[in-house]
Structure 1
């Protein structure tokens, strides 16, 4: 699965170096016994202000994505899903829990859980393949809605020095999706197909949404992984560790 942000977004990220966070960002004491609780709150409050001019990351409401793909599954969904000009809604409404940061060199990591009551994707799509032996192809406007989707992020880290300051770098990363209450799909076909055919395909998709989601779940996990690693990685690259936390070496 490949995901690319727009050139405009990354141009701003490359050209800006942030050495001081705005006072609206919560700063936690790494040696405080309640550090992880503070960190959970800090991540929660950061979600709505990553696009602060002093930070310069893209807005998460919505997050604009130039293109991404969800590969064909091995079960009922033998359909390659390609999306472009996507708008993603839901990150800023997510509820962050169980944040855990370790700076121990032998197990340096950041883990956290986020549950989004609604995560919506509006995009232009192109489909090609088969759904339950029915040939499916077309393009048009798509709406995808995940309800009560929970993501668990596992981000191994390492330290490095830039301009004399210590930063964090994500060595690898993974987001799993252990819980999703619903995947709603609506594909409006611009090609020469009747509205009745489009309605039938959408009904079939939504009637068996659980089987479909299970079939392509790894693609959605890769999708959320790349978004999380890209955004968190850019934040760590721009903000020194000492600016994010107190009492760190």
Structure 2
């Protein structure tokens, strides 16, 4: 009988250890590490290749490309003001990030903060436009292209512990971009005058267009990042982020 109980206990212990083993996409840290913030930053960066391709076992979708539904922009004022709607927005390069700084919330109420940089983001979308641009009627549609160089994302959020899982309750994001280049193609039935006029406007006013995009873009990015984070966190008990 004692031998039987010993075997059962051993099997239960092995089962527990198997369950507690962290998946390969989790880089563990030591709680008492004096440089734990550096370790946690590296743990986030360790996720990059897994985020790029997605993690099927936890139903985490790939972030390459990172997809958003739509953005609506009013670029000039007046009854014939120039408006652009972007749909099927895809961003490439979001997984190529570096964590520059990280500050954890304490006392269960203070927010966490992180600064993430991405060398380049490329945006592809379908667009429709209406109104007048540079005194030329410019209603139509086509392909929209943008390149953001030197992207910094400052994130602020709050988390809570739900049982044995961490949850992101709120997340906000502020983007800063060093350089922007925007253009369109396959628009206005390839009317050269309209194409050149629109691309001239976008080339000379890329930062203004980005400013018009920012409120919606930041809100949508924060929402989608929060969803991705929670999809990961709800599948990994908080204890598995630590090796002691």
TM range (shorter): 0.7 to 0.9
Query: What residue in structure 2 maps to residue 15 of structure 1?
Result: none
Gaps of 5+ in 2: 1-18
Distance between the aligned counterparts of 2:236 and 2:208, measured in 1? 42
Seen in structure 2, the aligned counterparts of structure 1 residues 204 and 102 have a Cα distance that, compared at 3 Å, is: same
Distance between the aligned counterparts of 1:209 and 1:75, measured in 2? 17
Superposition deviation, residue 222 in structure 1:
1.7
1:147 is matched with which residue: 146, 149, 163? Answer: 149
Alignment of 1:80-159 (within 5 A): 80-84=84-88, 86-102=89-105, 104-107=107-110, 109-129=111-131, 131=133, 135-159=137-161
Q: Deviations over 1:118-141 (max 9, x none)?
A: 101122222334556655432222
Instruction: Check whether the contact 2:129–2:140 (CA below 8 A) recurs between aligned residues.
Output: yes
Pair 1:245-2:239 in alignment: no
Aligned length: 222
Instruction: Check whether the contact 2:86–2:125 (CA below 8 A) recurs between aligned residues.
Output: no
Query: If each structure's strand is expressed as a fraction of its own residues, which one has the higher value?
Result: 1
Superposition TM-score, scaled by structure 2 size: 0.78
Q: Deviations over 1:166-195 (max 9, x none)?
A: 112222110101x31222112224444612
Superposition TM-score, scaled by structure 1 size: 0.77
Gaps of 5+ in 1: 1-17
Pair 1:217-2:220 in alignment: no
Aligned to 1:147, what secondary structure does the other structure show?
A: strand
Report the aligned-residue RMSD.
2.7
| Larger Rg over CA atoms | 2
